[in-house]
Structure 1
Amino acid sequence: MVRVLIVEDQMIMQKYFEYLILQEPEFRLVKTVADAREAVKICSYSAIDLVLMDVQTFHNHDGLTAGKAIKEEHPATKVVIITSLIDPKILERAKTGCADSLWYKDHGEAELRDVIHRTLDGEHVFPDTTPDVEMNWITSGEISPRQLEMLRLYICGMSYSEIAKKMDCSTSGVRWNFQEMITKAGYSCKEDLIAAALESKLIVTTLK
């Protein structure tokens, strides 16, 4: 019997994952919770074989941090991250001990079942890249990782000069990269670029 804990703060997704688990005869749903921090506590006193973990949970508590804590305390427990956040940092962090596998919510049910069973069999199932989203004239894949990091740092409150120092380049180089992103995507200003990045969940800065 595979004992399953679901961590998801959206009611409709809770019901979807519960339905999925209840269709598997060898699975037993232990509990569904909305808060990643509560999941860590549950795993400390209940034997859990599989955690389906959202990234952005109740009060923006970070499912990746919770996944890492669970993996460190209970190495045999499998953690599958489930998320709609396409921020490349999410996938990068998931691969560094925060989870066994990752699945994007916009993918199909059959794929999720496959990921779950492969994970339980000992595989680590991660996409090679994050999904692309449209940003006016381009897709997010047309923005270089270096430019995306500059955008992230600016959204987090750094000035052009601070970004230049951190990324070992000139301030004018940072300014040029922002202008290229704005022009390539067809936005009229930097604020529109930032709004699009946040709205599309290409960059996420709210996790706690």
Structure 2
Amino acid sequence: MIRVLVVEDQKIMQKYFEYMLSQESEFKHVQTVADAEEAVGICSYSAIDIVLMDVQTFHNHDGLKAGKAIREACPHTKILIVTSLIDPKVLERAKSGCADSLWYKDHGEEEIKDVIRRTVNGEHVFPDVSPGVELNWITSGEISPRQLEMLRLYICGFSYSEIAREMNCSTAGVRWNFQEMIMKAGYSCKEDLIAAALESKLIVTTLK
């Protein structure tokens, strides 16, 4: 029997996971909570085999941070990140110790069941790269990781000169990279590029 805790703040996804778990006799649905911080406490006193952990949870609490805390406090409990966020930072953080596996929500039901079983059995199941998303004329994979980091820093409030210091390059180099991203994607201005990156969840800056 695999004891499962669901951490998800969207009602429709809560019902989806609860129904999916109920269809398999090997899964025991222990509880569903909306807040990742609440899950840390539950795992400290309940026997949980695996947590299906969303990244953006109630009050924008960070599921990756909670996953790392649970893994450190309860080594027997596995963390499976379930997310629709394609931000490469999410996958990077998950692989760096915040989770045992990661699954994207737009994949199939049978796939997540398989990932649950494999994760409980000790495997680490991660995609090699995050999915690409369309940005007008191009896909996100055509933007280099360095350019994506520049865009992330700008969205977080850094100026061009601050980005240049952070990334050890010139201010003119930062400006050139933004111009290239805008031109390559076919946007008319920087604001359109930023709006597309946020709307597609390519970059996420709201986690607490």
Tell me whether the two structures share a fold, i.e. TM-score over 0.5: yes
2:99 matched to 1:104? Answer: no
Q: Point out where structure 2 has 5 or more consecutive residues left out of the alignment.
A: none
Tell me the secondary structure at the aligned position of residue 56 of structure 2. Answer: coil
Tell me which residue corresponds to 2:197.
197
Tell me the secondary structure at the aligned position of residue 204 of structure 1. Answer: coil
RMSD: 0.6
Q: Point out where structure 1 has 5 or more consecutive residues left out of the alignment.
A: none
2:181 matched to 1:181? Answer: yes
Tell me the secondary structure at the aligned position of residue 42 of structure 2. Answer: helix
Tell me which residue corresponds to 1:31.
31
Distance 2:77 2:41 in 1: 14
Tell me the secondary structure at the aligned position of residue 154 of structure 1. Answer: helix
Tell me which residue corresponds to 1:12.
12
What are the superposed Cα offsets for residues 118-138 of structure 1, whole Å, 9 maximum, x if unpaired?
Answer: 111110000000001100000
Deviation at 1:35, TM superposition (A): 0.4
Question: In structure 2, what residue type is equivalent to 1:47?
Answer: A
Tell me which residue corresponds to 2:154.
154
Deviation at 1:26, TM superposition (A): 1.7
Deviation at 1:24, TM superposition (A): 1.6
Tell me which residue corresponds to 1:118.
118
Deviation at 1:20, TM superposition (A): 1.1
Which structure 1 residue ranges, 4+ long, deviate > 4 Å from structure 2? none
Deviation at 1:102, TM superposition (A): 0.1
What are the superposed Cα offsets for residues 180-204 of structure 1, whole Å, 9 maximum, x if unpaired?
Answer: 0000000000000000000000000
What are the superposed Cα offsets for residues 140-168 of structure 1, whole Å, 9 maximum, x if unpaired?
Answer: 01000000000000000100001011111
Deviating more after overlay: 141-150 vs 17-26:
17-26
Tell me which residue corresponds to 1:138.
138
Question: In structure 1, what residue type is equivalent to 2:156?
Answer: C
Q: How many residues align?
A: 208
Deviation at 1:114, TM superposition (A): 1.3
Deviation at 1:86, TM superposition (A): 0.4
